[in-house]
Amino acid sequence: MAEFLVKLADERGHVLQRVETGFSDKEVRERFTQQGYLVYSVKDNRGVLGINLLKPRAKIKTDHFIIFNQQFVTLIKAGLPILTGLHLLSKRQRNPFFRSLLENVRERVKSGEFLSSAFEAQGKGIISKIYTTTLLAGERSGNLEEVLARYVSYQRITATFRKKLIAALWYPAILVVALTLMLSFLITYVVPKFAELYDSLGAQLPAITQLLLNMGKTIQGHFYIVAPAMVIGALAGVAWTRSDSGNRAIDALRFKIPIFSEIWMKYQVSMFSRTLATLLAGGLPLVPSLETSSSAINSRRIASTVLNAATSVREGQPLSTSLEETKFFPELAVEMIEVGESTGALPTMLNSVAEFYEEDVQNALTAALQLIEPVLLIFMACIVAFVLIALYLPIFSLGGQIH
């Protein structure tokens, strides 16, 4: 299914803009027309090669979504109807996209749709399947307030964990950017200046210096070709990483990188365990919970492993046995899940698995970064030393000839 940007107006004349999935622009237009909307335009939102590279996707920030759900739970506890709560919260939203989304959800619920179905209709890339499944479990159990409260708690924990990981990666990323900018400045500006100097002196240059000067001259002389080529290469790289083949290749690469492959595996296991525990605590059966939890995993390989385990569970096998048969999940996680099944406290044990691996990931990542940061600094020093030696070596030679 393709992705379309739809501009429409509701019965009150409010103009809305939404991202919707569908088989064709005609099918999407007919769908909204049947719902009573006035459709202004339906445009393909995928961009070049089926992927919009330049325009950022309309999305909702995690923090804003958590705050919305926290307020939504509070209003439900206070006894306000769902429609009233959605109306009050939509008016408070500063993000126009999120406000129009909530207004659309309210109109759908008002017309008779379930709350979970109304959010699910907003699009797969906008509202997560975990959220809509959580709402569905709450609607079926008649305990929407408690289920939503669990979801808010789950989101807060996972968001905090992600922020810690991102914060830990900031310094190495800054070092890499600084190294790239420094090399670009040296090669495109400093090196050509030295090339002009040595040409005027007619000095005989060492091979290492000649190589560096030729590189600088080539880049500076063909910058109008090199710069667009780099931009096109970057866009092509982004398009490839978002394609199916690119996703599979990157996913396979993650499991081959020393040290980080284990960290990546533990991170995905923690996310899977936390999500599965939340869904089970909300009253959803094990098999649907497994199928939904697989969508919370960023690794296709692990996601397919979870889906295979769900098939085995559907056939009557315990979850621990099903995960063990995949020969992919960590042994400790399987053992802890087995204990949770045998004691009838699987959600509690899954939360323990998540907490254990979250702490393990933070410790392992901290240790890895403590090793990587000095390595990057040493590498930067070596690059700078190489450039300086290559540039100043002829000057030392000329100085010796003068004496």
Using one digit for the tens of pLDDT, what is the confidence trace for 359-369? 888 888 778 77
C-alpha angle 266/269/275, rounded to 5°? Answer: 140
Q: Alpha-carbon distance 290 to 317, whole Å?
A: 14
Tell me, yes or no, if the two domains 2-50 and 62-156 fold the same way. Answer: no
Of 23-37, 179-193, 243-257, 320-334, which one has max mean pLDDT? 320-334
The per-residue pLDDT of the chain, averaged, comes to 80
pLDDT above 70 (res 8)? yes
Torsion over CA: 336, 341, 345, 348 (sign): positive
Contact, 301 vs 309, CB < 8 A? Answer: no
Q: Please state which of the four CATH numbers 1.10.3470, 3.10.20, 1.10.260, 3.10.450 is assigned to the domain occupying 2-50.
A: 3.10.20
Residue 125: per-residue pLDDT: 67
Residue 383: per-residue pLDDT: 82
Q: Which fold has domain 62-156?
A: Receptor-associated Protein (1.20.81)
For residue 398, what pLDDT band results from cuts at 50, 70 and 90? low
Q: Alpha-carbon distance 283 to 339, whole Å?
A: 20
pTM attached to this predicted model? 0.64
What is the arithmetic mean of pLDDT over 207-236?
78
What is the arithmetic mean of pLDDT over 268-290?
84
Q: Which fold has domain 170-403?
A: Receptor-associated Protein (1.20.81)
Q: Alpha-carbon distance 100 to 335, whole Å?
A: 46
Cα–Cα distance list, 178 to 184, 185, 190, 234 (Å) = 10, 11, 16, 18
| DSSP label at residue 48 | G
Q: Which region among 3-7, 105-109, 353-357 has the lowest average model confidence (pLDDT)?
A: 3-7
Residue 22: per-residue pLDDT: 60
Q: Alpha-carbon distance 249 to 372, whole Å?
A: 24
Domain boundaries, the chain: 2-50, 62-156, 170-403
Using one digit for the tens of pLDDT, what is the confidence trace for 68-90? 999 998 998 888 888 999 999 98
Residue 48: per-residue pLDDT: 42
Of 48-57, 108-117, 211-220, 224-233, which one has max mean pLDDT? 108-117
